[in-house]
Structure 1
């Protein structure tokens, strides 16, 4: 019995979108049912238009469905992706999380598997604290946090046991090491969720 996995991410210029797609690929390898969902953009149109890469990515991903609370209910596992903003998740993702109160109050977010991935422009710009901040949300939800840890040889190259992360620099895109680490995280998350689904059946 396979799991339902929701990969929910916010990306302004495409870095997190690339990592999210790799997480999806990893989850697919377990025969999981997977939903790729983007977080709705809330930045002012003039701010987006002032950055050609931001506008281009918004146009290129117009066909990706936006995340809803139904995606959280449907999922046995949820992996969130966000750029780091001053060591915390992006406001767009936080706004979505802040809308989950009714589900949380009814206990409908508890017992699911959760994980996260991120990217930032510098090596010490808060990537780990962003992932740990999302962990605080998962604690409140009663979630089961499944990090990648050092559970695959790729992790000894990639080096972030909390969740896949990438130093984006100036317009860089994730390379094969980061993408394979993201695939491993998706695979590990889906496999763990599937075990829980089978044990509850």
Structure 2
């Protein structure tokens, strides 16, 4: 009897103050519990040092996560599943995430991003701060790759408990730890992606 190869998953996040880092950590834990091999990486900071150092909370978050490797092109090459987590910036992904995506042209051009599952999560300071458009534009990006979209939809009642966003976990970032409802939504989304990826992989 042969054992099925594990699902290989990369979670790419960017986090200015810590919310999306928390989200990525919860997703990584849930995906590992579902049997995936998970690599957690962060989009490289692109803001000038004088800007980062001028805001204590931003600087502290960068220092807290110094142990997390910066995302590279190779991190998306030999994987089965990709999950992005990013703050919302004016209705779209943070510029650090977009800068990382801009490095993926060669990988996309070779077809290496096709047929991987893709899901996304986000946060904003208020529920109507562009969270849905951020997730939708990330899914449009993944369509260009030929990736297989795995939004959570309304596949579990926990989605309603945390705001009811069918596109992906979306958190109101207020400087507080994630709520139990937010964590449950994130866990469901990550587990669902691993499970569907396993089915697709056969």
The CA RMSD measured in Å over matched residues stands at 0.9
Larger mean Cα displacement after TM superposition, 61-70 or 171-180: 171-180
> Separation in 2 of the partners of 1:123 and 1:184?
20
> Separation in 1 of the partners of 2:178 and 2:44?
23
2:158 aligned with 1:136: no
Of the three residues 10, 13, 16, the one matched with 2:17 is: 13
Q: How far 1:173 moved relative to its partner?
A: 3.0
Q: TM-score, normalised by structure 2?
A: 0.95
> Separation in 2 of the partners of 1:182 and 1:76?
19
Q: Which residue of 1 aligns with 2:165?
A: 160
Q: Alignment length, in residue pairs?
A: 197
2:80 aligned with 1:73: no
Q: Whose relative contact order is higher, 1 or 2, with alpha carbons under 8 Å and at least 6 apart?
A: 1
Of the three residues 84, 103, 107, the one matched with 1:103 is: 107
Q: Which residue of 1 aligns with 2:26?
A: 22
**Runs of at least 5 residues in structure 2 that lack an aligned partner in the other structure:** none
Retained in 2: the 8 A contact 1:22–1:180? Answer: no
Deviations 1:140-189 (CA, angstroms, capped at 9, x unpaired): 000100001111221121211100010113x2332111011111111111
Superposition misfits of 4+ residues, deviation over 2 angstroms: none
Q: TM-score, normalised by structure 1?
A: 0.95
> Separation in 2 of the partners of 1:25 and 1:153?
21
Q: Which residue of 1 aligns with 2:118?
A: 114
